[in-house]
Amino acid sequence: MTLMKTYKRFDLNFVKGNGVYLYEKNGDKYLDFVAGIAVNVLGHSNEKIVKAIKDQSEKLLHISNLYYDDHQINLSKKLIELSDHQSVFFCNSGTEAIEGALKIARKYGLKKGKNKILYFDNAFHGRTLGALSVTSNEKYKKSFKPLVPNVEKVKLNSEKDFLEKFDESVCAVIIEPIQGEGGINPVDQDFLQLIRDETSMNDALLIFDEVQAGIGRTGTFFAYQGFDVIPDVIALAKGLGGGVPIGAFIANEKADVLSYGDHGCTFGGNPLVTAVSNVVVDEVSKQDFLQQVTEKGNYLKIKLNDLMKNSNIITQVKGKGLMIGVDFEIDPKIIVKLALEEKLLIINAGVNTIRLVPALNVSYKEIDAFIYLFGKVVKKAEKL
């Protein structure tokens, strides 16, 4: 095998996708509730995305950020109009967006003599050195130390721990409003408000990592809009491109501190990916679309709660919109493996959680199909 051994891949080779289904090389059809890990928000082979790729590929793929491009300009305008912010930087991935947000934080704090960044237990922000520094899981970090200094971990939803560790040296606090990799853990509304109040009063920045929770995933276009707390910086990726590699971080006036030479990205926001992202944003930002995400998410949670009532291994159903976690008393990797036997794709998160992040345009019929298969999986697991 010529690929580096950085992934423990399933023995599957997918060659085609359509909506919420993937087709293996041998012809088997799988119901996909992974969606490229919350990426394919409009499903596989979406007609509008395919058309955008075809049309743009015949015109222009890449020019670098030495020049202007209408697709990039239009996309930046849309993101700013949809948010409470002022400027956008385009990159290629979520971890790159986090790196940019951390650089904003450090530059913002430089003249003020502030350089400490607070993050939270169970947080996951990426695998580059900066992002790893504010990621909680030690197994991802131990082989790459020393990491970026002057960061400190806080217990999630603990007002006491946060206030003890928040001091005049803090330049920024970074948090996922709903933790993804950490186990689909929503942050308490009051705790988010406390962080916002303290950062505002003490001239520090609040950074939201919405790489997984943003772009309609939780039922509002930006996740922060469902919590009534406005961050200074937002990191985005995954769903922003609907399958093509694009990330972004956006800043309000206070945090708009980067200048010429401070940051760069060769491929970031090129004509191809921004042409596609414009299509995604146009679709996902529609109010009826977002309302459907909320309603379908509620429907899915009702069905999952029904399963839980009749199960002795499901302990909790949690999440928001179509970012849902199901906690088990057994190793969730067992559930993932059993699901493959039923031609169902799901993934685990945290210690004991199954993460469900299907395409946002999944139908009720497809949700019912998932519940049927997932119910079979749970019954199999209960007999182990």
Residues β-bridged to residue 186: 178
Q: How many CB atoms lie within 10 A of CB 232?
A: 27
Q: Alpha carbon of 15 to those of 21, 26, 28, 35, 231: distances in Å? A: 11, 9, 10, 15, 40
- Cβ within 8 Å of residue 150, ≥6 positions away: 115, 116, 117, 169
Please give the angle made by the CA atoms of 129, 182 and 281, to the nearest 5 degrees.
80
What are the pLDDT digits (tens) for 282-313? 999 999 999 999 999 999 999 999 999 999 99
pLDDT value for 66: 96
Residue 379: strand, helix, or coil: helix
CB neighbour class for 376 (10 Å; exposed up to 12, middle 13-18, buried from 19): middle
CA dist 41 and 19 (Å) reads: 10
Q: What is the DSSP string of 62-92?
A: ---TTS--HHHHHHHHHHHHHSS--EEEEES
Residue (of 167, 226, 157) closest to 201 by Cα position: 167
Domain ranges in the chain with CATH number 3.40.640.10: 49-284
What backbone phi and psi angles, to 5 degrees, belong to 73?
-60, -45
What backbone phi and psi angles, to 5 degrees, belong to 364?
-60, -35
CA dist 33 and 340 (Å) reads: 12
Residue (of 349, 357, 275) closest to 324 by Cα position: 357
- The identity of residue 198, as a single letter, is E
CA dist 256 and 79 (Å) reads: 15
CA dist 189 and 225 (Å) reads: 12
What backbone phi and psi angles, to 5 degrees, belong to 293?
-60, -45
Residue (of 233, 259, 245, 235) closest to 36 by Cα position: 245
> Can you list the positions of beta strands (E) in 127-167?
151-154
Question: Which positions of the chain have pLDDT values less than 70?
Answer: none
Q: Alpha carbon of 4 to those of 8, 55, 139: distances in Å? A: 11, 34, 18
CATH architecture of 49-284: 3-Layer(aba) Sandwich (3.40)
Q: Which residues of 351-368 are buried (b: 16+ CB within 10 A; e: fewer)?
A: ebbbbbbbbbbbeeebbe
177 neighbors 223 (Cβ within 8 angstroms): yes
CATH number of the domain located at residue range(s) 286-361+369-384 in this protein: 3.90.1150.10
CA dist 291 and 175 (Å) reads: 25
pLDDT value for 384: 87
CA dist 204 and 48 (Å) reads: 41
Residues β-bridged to residue 135: none
Domain ranges in the chain with CATH number 3.90.1150.10: 286-361+369-384
Q: What is the DSSP string of 302-369?
A: HHHHHHHHT-SSEEEEEEETTEEEEEESS-HHHHHHHHHHTTEE-EEETTTEEEE---TT--HHHHHH
